[in-house]
Amino acid sequence: MSPASTLALVLIFGLHAAPAAAQRFSLAPELGVYIPTEKLVDATDGTVGELEAGLSLGARLGLRFGDRVGLSVSGAYVPTTFTLSPTGGSPEQHDARLFNGTGQLMVFLLPRRSLFSVFLNGGVGVVSRGGVAFTNAAETTNVTGVVGAGATLRLGGMALSAGAELFSYTAEYDPDGLVSSELSQRDVQIRLGVGIPFGGGGMMGITR
Protein backbone atom coordinates (compact mmCIF):
# COMPACT_ATOMS: atom_id res chain seq x y z
CA MET A 1 0.00 0.00 0.00
CA SER A 2 1.38 3.41 -0.93
CA PRO A 3 1.90 6.15 1.72
CA ALA A 4 -0.83 8.23 0.10
CA SER A 5 -3.25 5.31 0.36
CA THR A 6 -2.40 4.88 4.05
CA LEU A 7 -3.24 8.53 4.78
CA ALA A 8 -6.48 8.26 2.82
CA LEU A 9 -7.55 5.21 4.84
CA VAL A 10 -7.02 7.12 8.10
CA LEU A 11 -9.55 9.74 7.00
CA ILE A 12 -12.00 7.17 5.59
CA PHE A 13 -11.90 5.26 8.87
CA GLY A 14 -12.70 8.45 10.75
CA LEU A 15 -15.67 9.19 8.52
CA HIS A 16 -17.23 5.84 9.39
CA ALA A 17 -16.16 5.66 13.03
CA ALA A 18 -19.05 7.73 14.39
CA PRO A 19 -22.60 8.73 13.39
CA ALA A 20 -22.73 11.53 10.86
CA ALA A 21 -24.52 13.79 13.35
CA ALA A 22 -21.53 13.59 15.72
CA GLN A 23 -18.93 14.61 13.15
CA ARG A 24 -17.56 18.15 13.01
CA PHE A 25 -15.02 19.35 10.47
CA SER A 26 -12.54 22.21 10.33
CA LEU A 27 -10.01 23.37 7.76
CA ALA A 28 -6.89 25.15 9.02
CA PRO A 29 -4.49 26.93 6.62
CA GLU A 30 -1.04 26.75 8.22
CA LEU A 31 2.26 28.60 8.12
CA GLY A 32 5.39 27.43 9.89
CA VAL A 33 9.00 26.27 9.80
CA TYR A 34 10.29 22.78 8.96
CA ILE A 35 13.61 22.02 10.69
CA PRO A 36 15.71 18.94 9.75
CA THR A 37 18.03 18.22 12.68
CA GLU A 38 20.19 15.36 11.32
CA LYS A 39 22.69 14.94 8.48
CA LEU A 40 21.22 13.31 5.39
CA VAL A 41 24.69 12.29 4.12
CA ASP A 42 27.60 11.10 6.23
CA ALA A 43 29.77 9.17 3.76
CA THR A 44 32.86 7.17 4.65
CA ASP A 45 35.07 9.65 2.75
CA GLY A 46 33.97 12.47 5.04
CA THR A 47 31.38 14.01 2.72
CA VAL A 48 28.56 15.57 4.70
CA GLY A 49 25.20 16.76 3.39
CA GLU A 50 22.18 18.24 5.09
CA LEU A 51 18.92 20.02 4.40
CA GLU A 52 18.40 23.56 5.64
CA ALA A 53 15.35 24.67 7.59
CA GLY A 54 12.62 26.15 5.41
CA LEU A 55 9.28 27.93 5.53
CA SER A 56 6.34 25.51 5.37
CA LEU A 57 2.99 26.24 3.71
CA GLY A 58 0.09 23.86 4.12
CA ALA A 59 -3.30 23.02 5.55
CA ARG A 60 -4.97 20.56 7.89
CA LEU A 61 -8.41 18.96 7.74
CA GLY A 62 -9.77 18.03 11.17
CA LEU A 63 -12.61 15.71 12.15
CA ARG A 64 -13.65 15.63 15.80
CA PHE A 65 -15.76 13.29 17.92
CA GLY A 66 -16.98 15.06 21.05
CA ASP A 67 -14.70 17.37 23.04
CA ARG A 68 -11.70 15.11 23.58
CA VAL A 69 -10.88 13.08 20.45
CA GLY A 70 -10.42 13.82 16.77
CA LEU A 71 -8.60 12.86 13.59
CA SER A 72 -6.61 15.06 11.25
CA VAL A 73 -5.09 14.82 7.78
CA SER A 74 -2.51 17.42 6.78
CA GLY A 75 -0.09 18.36 4.02
CA ALA A 76 2.67 20.95 3.66
CA TYR A 77 5.12 22.18 1.02
CA VAL A 78 8.64 23.26 2.08
CA PRO A 79 11.03 25.00 -0.35
CA THR A 80 14.57 24.60 1.02
CA THR A 81 18.27 24.15 0.22
CA PHE A 82 20.46 21.04 0.30
CA THR A 83 24.13 21.65 1.17
CA LEU A 84 26.71 19.01 0.24
CA SER A 85 30.20 19.51 1.74
CA PRO A 86 32.86 17.21 0.23
CA THR A 87 36.08 16.68 2.15
CA GLY A 88 38.66 19.22 0.98
CA GLY A 89 36.18 20.90 -1.36
CA SER A 90 33.85 23.85 -1.33
CA PRO A 91 30.27 23.31 -0.15
CA GLU A 92 27.73 22.86 -2.94
CA GLN A 93 24.21 24.19 -2.51
CA HIS A 94 21.24 22.96 -4.53
CA ASP A 95 17.58 23.88 -4.54
CA ALA A 96 15.37 21.29 -2.93
CA ARG A 97 11.75 20.91 -1.93
CA LEU A 98 9.95 18.79 0.59
CA PHE A 99 6.36 17.67 0.90
CA ASN A 100 5.06 16.06 4.05
CA GLY A 101 1.68 14.64 4.88
CA THR A 102 0.21 13.07 8.00
CA GLY A 103 -2.81 11.19 9.31
CA GLN A 104 -3.09 11.47 13.08
CA LEU A 105 -5.21 10.89 16.16
CA MET A 106 -5.76 14.03 18.27
CA VAL A 107 -6.41 13.84 22.05
CA PHE A 108 -7.44 17.07 23.81
CA LEU A 109 -6.24 17.29 27.43
CA LEU A 110 -8.51 20.26 28.05
CA PRO A 111 -12.05 20.28 26.60
CA ARG A 112 -12.09 21.56 23.05
CA ARG A 113 -14.97 23.91 23.90
CA SER A 114 -12.78 25.79 26.40
CA LEU A 115 -11.37 29.19 25.48
CA PHE A 116 -7.90 27.61 25.69
CA SER A 117 -7.18 23.94 25.00
CA VAL A 118 -4.13 21.67 24.83
CA PHE A 119 -3.77 18.57 22.66
CA LEU A 120 -1.44 15.66 21.94
CA ASN A 121 -1.25 14.04 18.51
CA GLY A 122 0.37 11.03 16.89
CA GLY A 123 0.14 8.84 13.82
CA VAL A 124 1.76 8.11 10.47
CA GLY A 125 3.25 10.43 7.87
CA VAL A 126 5.24 10.63 4.66
CA VAL A 127 8.18 12.86 3.74
CA SER A 128 8.85 13.30 0.02
CA ARG A 129 11.90 15.11 -1.39
CA GLY A 130 12.39 16.65 -4.83
CA GLY A 131 14.28 19.30 -6.75
CA VAL A 132 17.76 19.41 -8.28
CA ALA A 133 19.42 17.99 -5.16
CA PHE A 134 17.51 14.71 -5.34
CA THR A 135 17.40 13.83 -9.03
CA ASN A 136 18.37 10.15 -9.30
CA ALA A 137 20.26 10.41 -6.03
CA ALA A 138 17.91 9.35 -3.27
CA GLU A 139 14.90 7.38 -2.24
CA THR A 140 12.58 10.33 -2.50
CA THR A 141 9.73 9.21 -0.23
CA ASN A 142 9.90 7.84 3.30
CA VAL A 143 7.18 6.69 5.68
CA THR A 144 7.55 8.19 9.14
CA GLY A 145 6.07 8.09 12.58
CA VAL A 146 4.78 11.45 13.83
CA VAL A 147 4.17 12.69 17.39
CA GLY A 148 3.46 16.19 18.62
CA ALA A 149 1.63 18.57 20.89
CA GLY A 150 -0.01 21.97 20.68
CA ALA A 151 -2.62 24.38 21.93
CA THR A 152 -5.64 26.21 20.55
CA LEU A 153 -7.20 29.56 21.41
CA ARG A 154 -10.82 30.15 20.44
CA LEU A 155 -11.50 33.42 18.63
CA GLY A 156 -15.23 33.60 18.18
CA GLY A 157 -16.21 31.04 15.57
CA MET A 158 -12.57 30.30 14.64
CA ALA A 159 -9.55 28.99 16.52
CA LEU A 160 -5.91 30.07 16.44
CA SER A 161 -3.61 27.11 17.00
CA ALA A 162 0.11 26.48 17.44
CA GLY A 163 2.06 23.29 17.78
CA ALA A 164 5.13 21.24 17.00
CA GLU A 165 5.61 17.73 15.59
CA LEU A 166 8.53 15.32 15.34
CA PHE A 167 8.97 13.24 12.17
CA SER A 168 11.14 10.16 12.82
CA TYR A 169 12.31 8.03 9.87
CA THR A 170 15.30 6.59 7.99
CA ALA A 171 16.58 8.03 4.69
CA GLU A 172 19.41 7.35 2.26
CA TYR A 173 21.17 9.69 -0.16
CA ASP A 174 23.73 8.51 -2.72
CA PRO A 175 25.10 11.43 -4.79
CA ASP A 176 27.46 10.68 -7.69
CA GLY A 177 28.02 7.10 -6.65
CA LEU A 178 29.19 7.95 -3.14
CA VAL A 179 28.03 5.23 -0.80
CA SER A 180 26.28 6.48 2.30
CA SER A 181 24.50 4.31 4.82
CA GLU A 182 20.89 4.86 5.76
CA LEU A 183 20.70 7.55 8.42
CA SER A 184 18.06 8.17 11.06
CA GLN A 185 16.28 11.49 10.57
CA ARG A 186 14.61 13.70 13.16
CA ASP A 187 12.70 16.56 11.57
CA VAL A 188 10.73 19.12 13.58
CA GLN A 189 7.77 21.04 12.22
CA ILE A 190 6.49 24.17 13.98
CA ARG A 191 3.24 25.71 12.70
CA LEU A 192 0.58 28.30 13.26
CA GLY A 193 -2.92 27.78 11.88
CA VAL A 194 -6.37 29.33 11.85
CA GLY A 195 -9.17 26.76 12.00
CA ILE A 196 -12.35 27.44 10.03
CA PRO A 197 -15.39 25.23 10.85
CA PHE A 198 -17.69 23.75 8.22
CA GLY A 199 -20.08 20.84 7.71
CA GLY A 200 -22.38 21.09 10.70
CA GLY A 201 -20.68 23.60 12.97
CA GLY A 202 -18.31 23.02 15.82
CA MET A 203 -14.64 23.89 15.85
CA MET A 204 -11.53 21.81 15.96
CA GLY A 205 -8.75 24.31 15.43
CA ILE A 206 -5.71 22.19 14.78
CA THR A 207 -2.11 22.81 13.86
CA ARG A 208 1.15 20.79 13.84
* pLDDT tens track for 16-61: 444 443 457 889 999 999 999 998 887 766 778 889 999 999 999 9
Sorted by sequence, the CB contacts under 8 Å of residue 94 that are 6+ apart come out as 81, 82, 84, 131, 132, 133
Q: What is the pLDDT of residue 132?
A: 77
Distance of CA 18 to the CA centre of its chain: 26
pLDDT band of 196, cuts 50, 70, 90: confident
134 versus 30: which is more confidently predicted?
30
The CA distances from residue 102 to 50, 132, 147, 175, 176, in Å, are: 23, 25, 10, 28, 32
Q: What is the pLDDT of residue 197?
A: 81
Q: Which domains does the chain have, with CATH numbers?
A: 3-15+23-80+94-198 (2.40.160.20)
Stretch among 73-77, 111-115, 183-187, 199-203 having the lowest mean pLDDT: 199-203
Question: How much is the mean pLDDT over the chain?
Answer: 80
pLDDT band of 136, cuts 50, 70, 90: low
pLDDT at 83 over 60: yes
* Dihedral sign from CA coordinates of 149, 62, 126, 16: positive
Read off the pLDDT of residues 84-103 as tens digits, 9 standing for 90 and up. Answer: 887 777 888 889 999 999 99
pLDDT at 207 over 50: no
**Nearest alpha carbon to residue 25 among 44, 37, 11:** 11
**Nearest alpha carbon to residue 208 among 102, 85, 51:** 102
**For the chain, give me the number of helices (H) and strands (E)?**
1, 10
pLDDT band of 149, cuts 50, 70, 90: very high
